[in-house]
Structure 1
Amino acid sequence: MLWRVSTFDPLRHEHKENIFYIQSKGENAGRPLREPKRNCFIIETDYEHAFEICTVLWISKKYEPLICGSVIPFLRIRDFESMALPYIKNLSFSLTQDMKALASIDELLSHTQKKLQLVRELKISTALHVLNKFDRIIY
């Protein structure tokens, strides 16, 4: 099975299948990401539900003892792998349904955020339309 972790470099990055990211620095070090940010690891894997397992580990604060740095907290690649890989390799069949549920929730959140963004844009558009009408009345 494929499992490769490296530091994300936006200049050498090409988007492939089965890739996700882990934030490596800051207050959210260890947080799984679908899109890259500065200071993250790139995870290339064939393990099913690896993203969801990393999400569970981040939410449960399993990475916290591994985070170091007094000014800017950061997570080392080897520390991340030592924590995440045993969980990913030993995913039992009984947990597969739970992982699918987490994936569905993640997808629902993504769709909801997109809808929320559209509503925000509609609010701005409506406000500008109202302002336009005010300007015609006043001037």
Structure 2
Amino acid sequence: MISFSVKTHKEGTRYKKHHLFALSRGYNTGRPLKEPCPNCFVILMESEDDCQKMYFLLDGLWRRQVFRMQLIGSVIPYIRVHEFTKTIIAFWKQIHENEDRVKRLMDAFNSLERLEKHNAEFMRLLSKYRDMAYVKVFDLDKVNLFGR
């Protein structure tokens, strides 16, 4: 069984244990984060392996919108720490039962994440190339737009 604790993140706090963050408010509640932001929980764990499994679990629960069913509040929906923790524990048992399959999926998703980052960088470079091509074609100094 995993040993972890969930707390509300306080701005400026540094954590010595392995940790990750999850949004605690809004319709993206439960979304795992590598860096803290306002309105998030911190999940503290004993090992880096557990931290990676927890990220996988939270990402799956967030994508399946499991936490949305537990949101309370009418203006800014949020989840209580206790409900968040209870949900993680319930689904952690499923991960533990399918550990081999989960490991393969984690490896595949890590590869997909690297590919997404590579593609995002490629798209950024293509956009920059397009902008430079327009600069070469449209010389704004030669066109008198303002009658000066």
With normalisation by structure 2, the TM-score equals 0.72
Q: Which runs of 5+ in 2 are unaligned?
A: none
Q: Which residue does 2:90 correspond to in 1?
A: 86
Query: Over the residues paired in the alignment, what is the CA RMSD in angstroms?
Result: 2.7
The sequence identity of aligned pairs, in percent, is 25
Q: Which residue does 2:4 correspond to in 1?
A: 3
- 1:1-139 → structure 2 map (5 Å cutoff): 2-13=3-14, 18-45=18-45, 46=47, 47=50, 48-89=52-93, 90-91=95-96, 92-95=98-101, 96-124=103-131, 127=134, 133-135=139-141, 137-138=142-143
User: How many residue pairs were aligned?
Assistant: 136
Letter in 1 for 2:77: P
Cα 1:118–1:24, aligned 2, differ >3 Å: closer, same or farther?
A: farther
The structure with the largest alpha-carbon Rg is 2
Q: Which runs of 5+ in 1 are unaligned?
A: none
65-74 or 80-89, larger mean C-alpha shift: 80-89
Deviating 4+ runs (over 6 angstroms): none
Cα 1:93–1:23, aligned 2, differ >3 Å: closer, same or farther?
A: same
Cα 1:100–1:11, aligned 2, differ >3 Å: closer, same or farther?
A: same
